[in-house]
Structure 1
Amino acid sequence: DNLIAERAIRGFTVGRRNWLFSGNFAAAERSAVVLSIIETCKLCGVDAEAYMADVTERIQNDWPASRWDELMPWNWARRQEMPLPLAA
């Protein structure tokens, strides 16, 4: 059964006509990455806007690459009660 996948791409397929002209291939790729993150957040019950703001801040503050798995939406959601420390 692929109902979950079909629901996840519904917003994209409805808007596809509006996004037909992304500007270039790189812009279309970036859009796909952002949409993928948003849909993953939805599946995990995470506020995508809060997630993106927090993770962007942590990465800008030199979050260690060895701990990026902690920033995945499914891990991020579990740790909201105990905020992750910013990288030293």
Structure 2
Amino acid sequence: MDAYFAWAKQKYSQVTHNSTIGKALAYSINQEEYLRVFLSDGNVPMDNNYAEQAIRPFTIGRKNFVMIESSNGAKASAILYSLVETAKANMINTFEYFNLLLTEIPQHMDDKDLRFIDDLLPWSPRVQKECPSRHKKS
């Protein structure tokens, strides 16, 4: 990685800074600190393939979304996709998770204290226990 940044800095001095390649080199040089994070933190993936794969159904389906005629419909769709993909990422049963959300949230509609939401997050012990995935690896 050090060799890349040395090469990029050398090449950047040789190209027009407003050119496409100049802008690309400048971007990578300016983002060096962030691009190196995965080297010091093993929890940070080297690429974003997982995120790309997670949004693929959404991007493929967007041609079908022309039927969403309002910004509220688009917002609702985005929220649902986000909930589904977050449930899948946390290896919980999506159907059971929605069932839990749709039975639990209405019971708190008048609550001023929203701390109950913490128990409904996909990584909470409660959700992990009540919504186990059939595909979870032991």
TM-score bin (small chain): 0.7 to 0.9
Question: 1:47 maps to what in 2?
Answer: 93
**Partner amino acid, structure 2, of 1:68:** I
Q: Deviations over 1:57-87 (max 9, x none)?
A: 011122752221110011111x329xxxxxx
Sequence identity of aligned pairs in percent? 31
Matches within 5 A, 1:63-74: 65-74=114-123
Question: 2:16 maps to what in 1?
Answer: none
**Partner amino acid, structure 2, of 1:10:** R
Question: 2:71 maps to what in 1?
Answer: 25
CA–CA separation in structure 2 for the residues paired with 1:6 and 1:22: 23
Give the alignment's TM-score, normalised by structure 1: 0.81
CA–CA separation in structure 2 for the residues paired with 1:73 and 1:11: 20
Question: 2:107 maps to what in 1?
Answer: 61
Q: Deviations over 1:11-70 (max 9, x none)?
A: 001111011230111100100000000000000111111101112101112275222111
**Partner amino acid, structure 2, of 1:6:** E
Out of 9-18 and 54-63, give the one that drifted further.
Answer: 54-63
Question: 2:4 maps to what in 1?
Answer: none
Q: Where does the alignment leave 5 or more consecutive residues of structure 1 unmatched?
A: 82-88
**Partner amino acid, structure 1, of 2:117:** W
CA–CA separation in structure 2 for the residues paired with 1:18 and 1:68: 32
Q: Where does the alignment leave 5 or more consecutive residues of structure 2 unmatched?
A: 1-46, 132-138
The root-mean-square deviation of aligned C-alpha atoms, in Å, is 1.7
Give the alignment's TM-score, normalised by structure 2: 0.54
